[in-house]
Amino acid sequence: MLMLPELLVVATALVVLVIDLFLSERTRWLTGLITLLGLLAAMAAACTNTMHGALLGGRFVVDAVAWWFDILLILAAFVTVILSMDVLNGNTRVRMRGLGARAEYYCVLLFTLAGMMFLISSRDLITFYVSLELATIPMFALAAWRRDDARSGEAGLKYVILAALSSSLIVYGMALLYGLTGQTNLDAIGRILPNHVGPAFWFAVAMLVAGAGSKFTVVPFHFWAADVYQGAPTPITAYLSVASKCVGLAFMFQVLFRIFGGWLHDGSLLVSIFAATTMTLGNTVAIVQHNIKRFMAFSAVSQAGYFLLGFLGPNEAGVAAMLFYMLVYIVTNLGVFTCIIWYQNETGREEIEDYRGLSQTNPIMALMMMVSLFSLAGIPPLSGFVGKFFLFSIASSAGYHWLVALAAVNSTVSLYYYLRVIRQMYIEPPDADARRIPITKKLAVTEAFLFAGVVILGIVPTLYESIHADTATWLATLLR
């Protein structure tokens, strides 16, 4: 069954919603467990499915890249659900009001996941567009989930308007593509397009690139990210920063490789300019942030710039490098967010200064957060370094040495602001009355696994090799 993982996710969403009707308030935490089991089943179904093929008359295709994206997305959603459970079940020291409706929360989260998984497998303008919206619209509700918090509602509303703007750009670009080619199949559009270069074509390119850039937080289309990240409930911020980024990359794969694959080589200069501005601006603005969620938003923007290096060339190694770095980024970023969520659950604080003296009250958590931050900055031998190394080598082999130099400078700048957090944890003294902050088993185990992932992914290269081997022939069929 090619579509089994997606169907399991949708089925779990519906089951959670229905079962919730029969649960009392005391047993309602079970919905979280059912969600996790459903995601495990979907993960197992995806892992055991080694077949590639097409369904629904070629509108739904599972290939090597779609398979890897499915795995990454399910992983991100699985960890997010674990991170959400404490908050939703009320197992926090600081009461967070307005975060009720557990079953609906999980249901909506699972629907976004289903949309994301369908998006990378879709091969038709209609399924492509509908799955994009399925991945986006429920996210508005998740961002605004804290009904009593004005900032959460504000984040949700800003997200609605700006994401709808980018969606309308995308759908207008799609209309132009369809008008030019008369095809709704993405591969067919990509094949026919070279015969139709003209003003309408360039208009469509501009629309789709702006839309894709907005989904992937590429500067100058990143402006929604900071407010939405800061206002959303923290587990949703974590989900946005990894899953939404992952689906943004999937969207770029579909648009840049599949539709505009023929121009990607000539467009490398444009991609390199986007990459340069994205990483530079993200890094520069992150330096002056005080709120840790906003800080992580700009860190995520700058990371998007590193991803763009993989589109230069373009070649097979770029695809593998981007997928591998996405895996590393998901694990590392969730590692940082586990700490942020834990700290917020127990103390209710989210300013960078609030982390002072954490190494003395909670040395192990401080260590894990430090290692995750170092991995984001790209310190060897952590996984972030290895992932960045592969991306930089893509840019270098494409001849963009100035961009590699700029990216290296940016990594150093990013080290500076990641060190700001580490300085608070390790050098600043704790408050006089600071005591050890307790941690729930769920979060401790999750953080330990993510920490292990951050370290192991950098040392053991087998995963990169298997991604590379899987996707080695993927691009050749698209670029011709």
Partner 1 sequence: MASVPMEHALVLAAVLFALGLAGLLVRRNIIFMLMCLEIMFNAAGLAFVAAGARWAQADGQVMFMMILTVAAAEVAVGLALLLGFYHHFKTLDADAAEGMRG
Residues forming the site for partner 1 (CB under 8 A): 125-126, 129-130, 133, 137, 140-141, 144, 147, 150-151, 153-158, 160-161, 164-165, 167-168, 171-172, 174-176, 178-179, 182, 184, 226-227, 230-231, 285, 288-291, 294
Least Å distance, CB 420 to partner 1, is 14
DSSP labels, 313-335: TT-HHHHHHHHHHHHHHHHHHHH
475, 335 Cβ separation under 8 angstroms? no
Return the number of the residue (228 or 386) whose C-beta is nearest partner 1.
228
The three-state secondary structure class of 260 is coil
Least Å distance, CB 191 to partner 1, is 16
The two structure tokens encoding residue 307: 């991803």
CA distance 463 to 433: 46
Distance of CA 259 to the CA centre of its chain: 22
The two structure tokens encoding residue 164: 């709808």
185, 124 Cβ separation under 8 angstroms? yes
Amino acid occupying residue 330: I
Q: In angstroms, how far apart are the furthest CA atoms of the chain?
A: 72
Neighbours of 432 (CB within 10 A): 6
Residue closest to 344 by CA, chosen among 45, 71, 83, 170: 83
User: What burial class does residue 50 get, using C-beta atoms within 10 Å of its C-beta: 0-12 exposed, 13-18 middle, 19+ buried?
Assistant: exposed
* Count of residues in the chain: 480
Least Å distance, CB 463 to partner 1, is 36
Least Å distance, CB 208 to partner 1, is 12
394, 321 Cβ separation under 8 angstroms? yes
Least Å distance, CB 196 to partner 1, is 12
Return the number of the residue (185 or 397) whose C-beta is nearest partner 1.
185
Going from the C-alpha of 230 to that of each of 136, 143, 310, 347, 411, the distances in angstroms are 18, 10, 28, 17, 23
Return the number of the residue (226 or 323) whose C-beta is nearest partner 1.
226
Return the number of the residue (10 or 74) whose C-beta is nearest partner 1.
10
77, 243 Cβ separation under 8 angstroms? yes
Query: Which residues is 185 bridged to in the sheet?
Result: 124
Return the number of the residue (186 or 443) whose C-beta is nearest partner 1.
186
Least Å distance, CB 169 to partner 1, is 8
Return the number of the residue (184 or 396) whose C-beta is nearest partner 1.
184
Return the number of the residue (63 or 227) whose C-beta is nearest partner 1.
227
* Measured distance between the N- and C-terminal CA atoms of the chain, rounded to whole angstroms: 30
Return the number of the residue (291 or 361) whose C-beta is nearest partner 1.
291
Least Å distance, CB 291 to partner 1, is 6
Return the number of the residue (273 or 287) whose C-beta is nearest partner 1.
287
Return the number of the residue (90 or 98) whose C-beta is nearest partner 1.
98
The two structure tokens encoding residue 22: 């029969």
Q: Where are the beta strands (DSSP E) in 51-186?
A: 53-55, 60-62
Beta carbons within 8 Å of 76's beta carbon, 6+ residues apart: 239, 242, 243, 246, 330, 334
Neighbours of 185 (CB within 10 A): 17
Least Å distance, CB 260 to partner 1, is 19
The residue assigned the tokens 């090619």 is 2
Least Å distance, CB 166 to partner 1, is 11
Least Å distance, CB 226 to partner 1, is 6
The residue assigned the tokens 């990359």 is 249
Least Å distance, CB 294 to partner 1, is 5
Return the number of the residue (78 or 229) whose C-beta is nearest partner 1.
229
